[in-house]
Structure 1
Amino acid sequence: MIAMTDFHKEKADEALDILNTRGADALLLFPGADIGYYTGFSIGPSERLAAALIPFSGNPVLVVNQLEAELRGQKSWITDVDLWLEHEDPVEILAENFERLDLEDAVVAINEDAPWGWINRLIERLPKLFFVDATSYMSQIRMVKSQQELDWMRMACAITDKALEVGFGNLHTGLTERELAGILTSEIRSNGGGAGFVGVLFGERAALPHGRPGERELEPGDCVLVDLGTNVHGYSSDLTRTVFYGKPSTREAELYALVNEANQIAYKAVRPGVSCGELDSIARKVIDNGGCGEYFIHRLGHGIGLQVHERPYIVQGNELELEAGMTFTIEPGIYIVGEIGIRVEDTVVCTAGGCERLTRLTRELTFYPIKD
C-alpha cells in the first residue's frame, strides 16, 4: 500500500504539472476537500485564514493560525508550517511567503474553495498577482479513485449497508422519523463510521427529496425512505432504500418496480466512454416509458468521494465520459406530492469492464410486518 504522504505528493505533482502547462506558477489551497487531498492536512472551515501555498518550484508552506499548531504533527509531505499569531495580519504573513518564494507577480491557481475576501485582500497587498480558476482540472484528478480510496469507500458502504438493515429491523408503529434517524446514527458510529448524514421520511413525506427527519410517526401502510451515508478516512458512502411497513398496494409495488428497473438498467449501461448525460437519459427513459417522467425531478446521480456530492454529475447535457475508477451514485426516483416518494440509490464505481456496486443492500421489493 502506498504511503499516504506519497499519495498526496503524487496528486499534488500531477495537479502542478497540468496547471504549469497552462501557465500557472503556484497553487493556493484553502480549507476544503482539495487541501486534504493534495497536502494531507485536515483543516476545517474557520474565520481564521488557513492556506497552503504550493509553488511549481520551491518549498511549499502551510500558513495557519497558532491555534492549529497540532497540524505540524500531521503526516504530510509539506513540512513548513508558518503559524501566525492572533494579533497579526494573516494576509501579511501569507504575502510574505509569496515574496519569499519570488511569487509576487505569479499566476496562481485557485479552486472554488477560495474565499474571495482573503483573495481580494491579498491582491491589494500584491497587486501583480494573477489568479486563475483551476477547479475543473483539480476535480478531474479527484474523480478517478486509487485502489486505496476505493477500499475506504467499500468500507464506508459496508457500514452503511449494515446500519440500514438494522434500522429497518426496528420498524414499529409509532416510531418517529427522528427516532429511526437516531438508531441509524448510533449503528454507524458503533461500527466505526465517521460523521455522515441521515434522511428518514415516512409516507407522503417521502415525496420531499431533501426532507429532514421530523416527528411524523410510522403508521401501517407507510413507505419508509431512508437516505444514509458515512465516511471512512474521509471517503463517503451514499445509500437510499425505500421499503414498506406492511404489504404495499399494487400501485406502490408497480412504482417501486419502475424505479428499481431504472436503477438496474443504468447500472448495466455503465462502462468507460459512456457520457454522464447519456447515462441519465438511459434511466430517465425507463421512468418516462412507465408514465412517470414528470415525477423524476432530479439528476440521476452525482460523483462521490471526499465529498458526498462532487464531480462527475450524472445529468442530462453533461458530455463528460466515464472512466474506470470514477465513483458516483445511481439514484432514480419518483416523487408524487402528497402521496408517495420512492428512490433506490447505490454508490458505484465504473470499472474497465463495466460497473461495481459498492453498496450491496438488497434492492428487491421489501416490506416489514406491522409491529405495535
Structure 2
Amino acid sequence: MLLSACDDSQQTQEQAGQAQAVPVESMLINVQNMDISEPYSGRTVAYRIAEVRPQVDGIITKRLFEEGADVKEGQVLYQIESSSYQAKLDKAKGDLQYAKEQLRLNKRLAQRYKALHASRAISKEKYDEADSNYRLSLANVEINKSLVKSAQINLDHTQIKAPISGRIGKSFFSEGALVTNAQSNYLASIQQLSPLYVEFPMTSQEALSLRSNVSEKSSAQDSVKLMLDNGVEIESPAKLQFADMSVNKNTDTVTVRLEIPNSQASLLPNMYLRAEIKTKADVDGVLVPQKALKHNPKGEASVMVINAENKVEVRPVTTKQMIGNQWLITKGLTDGDQVITVGLQKIRPGALVDATNVNDPQTNK
C-alpha cells in the first residue's frame, strides 16, 4: 500500500511538470554562406533623348505623326513649305551649268593661246590672261557645285526627320506655325525606351563593394533584382553600369546605373523602381523571422532559444539587415540551435517549453 501511494504521488508530480511545459513553435538554425542584398530606390531614365528642331526657316505645312506614337529614325515628322528652297536649288543648278559652259570655253581658249604662245604668235601676257581665266572658271564650277549641294541640303531639311527611333511626345508647334533654325524651343522630343536606364544613388563604399562583387561573377544579372513600387518583380535581365566618374563630396554618393532591355516598352521614363543589389558576398548568417527578435532600449537584439533541458534561454545576437520580413543574423547562433518563433508572449527565461519545429524560412523544408 505504501509503495502504491508513492508511485501515485510520483506520477502526479510528473504529470504536473508536463502540464507546466508551455507549447511553442521553433525553428532549427542552419547557418549558411550567403550574399547580402541591399535595397535601393531609383527612377527610370530614357536610354537616349533627342529634341526635334528645325534646321531651316519656314512655315510648317504638315505634321506627319501621332503624339505618343513610336517613330523610326529617319521618319518624316514635319513638312516645311519648300517652294522657295526648290527655287533656290533650281537657280543653283542653272548657275552651275552656266559655270561649266564658261569653263569649257575658257579651257578651249587657254589651249589655243598656249599653242600660239609657243609659236610666238601672241605675247606671254595674253596667254597668262587666258590661262588665269581658265583656272578661275575651274574654281567657279567648284563654288557652284557647293552652292547646289547647300541648296539641296536646305531643301531636304524642309522635311524634318526623326533623329533617333523611340516614342515621340507632344508637338509644341502645329501647321501654320513659323519656325526658324535659331529658335530656342524644340518642336517635339523623342525618347528611346528600349533599352532603358534605371539610376539610383549609393554610398561610395557600397559602390566599391558592388564593383568587387560583380567583377567576380560571370554575369552581373545575378546581382540585381528590380521591382515595381507595388513589389511586383520585373522579369528582365539587368546590366550593371557606373554612371558617375566621381563621388559627390557633399553626400559621399555615386549614381549607379542599370540597363534593362524593356523590349515591350512597358516601363516609361521617371517611373519609381526598387532594386535589391548584392553588394557583399560570402557572409555566414541565418535568416530569422522578425517576430522572433526583441530589442532592448539600447537597440541590442536577442532571441529566445531552447536549451538541452527544453528550457528557455535569452541569446544576444548581432543583426545585419532586414531582408523581407526576416532579420539576417551574423553572430550569436550556431547550427542546431532552436529559436522560438511563436508563443514568445507566454514564456520567460527558464520556462519549460514543449517545442514544435516549423519550416526553416531559408530553405522551406
More helix per residue: 1 or 2?
A: 1
- Structure with the greater alpha carbon radius of gyration: 2
Q: Which has the higher contact order (CA 8 A, sep 6+)?
A: 2
Shared fold, TM over 0.5: no
Give the TM-score normalised by the residue count of structure 2: 0.21
